[in-house]
């Protein structure tokens, strides 16, 4: 092997390692969207803008912040169907709620078209928990306290984290 080949291989390995580092760094330190609170800023906060009656009867509430025109919301419908199925299997364990920028009637029609069953739909014209990016998913306990928050279209790792949190004893 010549010196040129060795140098080429060393450069390829170095570029690969730097690329891997940047990929991992980007994946695990994804900032909140501009102008939006981060998950850490939301966790532990009580959501006051929604009537307490929506979640007081369920220990685990999943709030989906959706928009019927959102491309990433549409791409996430398989996950929402899975959450809907979980809700049906555990009727007193998980409540699935949708906060929408659309009118409640328009969002209900959209959910029916997408075959997503939910417990309640409410309008959130200014967002939910000061968040206005869609899609967003919030895990909220029976006291209205946000336990987890996910922003944007979830990758498979985030989906597993969400489902794992819902299957655990607490959030």
Q: What is the pLDDT of residues 92-144, one digit of tens each?
A: 678 999 999 889 999 999 999 999 999 999 888 666 767 878 899 999 988 88
Residue 38 within a domain: no
Q: Are residues 19 and 51 in the same domain?
A: no
Q: Are residues 17 and 48 in the same domain?
A: no
Task: Note down the domain range covering 84.
Answer: 43-167
Q: Are residues 130 and 158 in the same domain?
A: yes
- With pLDDT > 90 as the criterion, what percentage of the chain qualifies? 36
Spatial strand order of the sheet with 120-123 comes to 120-123, 94-100, 60-66, 136-140, 146-151
Q: What is the dihedral of CA 145, 129, 131, 26, to 10 degrees?
A: -20
Whether the pLDDT of residue 86 is over 80: the answer is yes
Whether the pLDDT of residue 169 is over 70: the answer is no
Q: Are residues 91 and 162 in the same domain?
A: yes
């Amino acid at each position: 092997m010549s010196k040129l080949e060795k140098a080429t291989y060393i450069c390829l390995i170095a570029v690969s390692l730097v690329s891997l580092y940047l990929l991992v760094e980007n994946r695990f330190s994804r900032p909140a969207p501009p102008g939006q609170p981060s998950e850490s800023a939301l966790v532990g906060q009580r959501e006051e803008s929604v009537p307490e009656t929506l979640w007081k009867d369920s220990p685990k509430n999943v709030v989906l912040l959706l928009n019927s025109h959102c491309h990433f919301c549409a791409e996430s419908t398989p996950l929402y169907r899975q959450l809907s199925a979980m809700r049906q299997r555990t009727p007193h364990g998980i409540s699935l709620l949708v906060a929408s920028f659309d009118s409640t009637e328009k969002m209900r029609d959209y959910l029916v078209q997408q075959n997503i069953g939910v417990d309640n739909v409410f309008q959130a014209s200014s967002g939910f928990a000061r968040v206005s990016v869609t899609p967003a998913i919030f895990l909220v306990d029976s006291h209205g306290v946000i336990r987890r928050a996910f922003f944007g279209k979830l990758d498979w790792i985030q989906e597993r984290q969400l489902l794992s949190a819902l299957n655990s004893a607490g959030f």
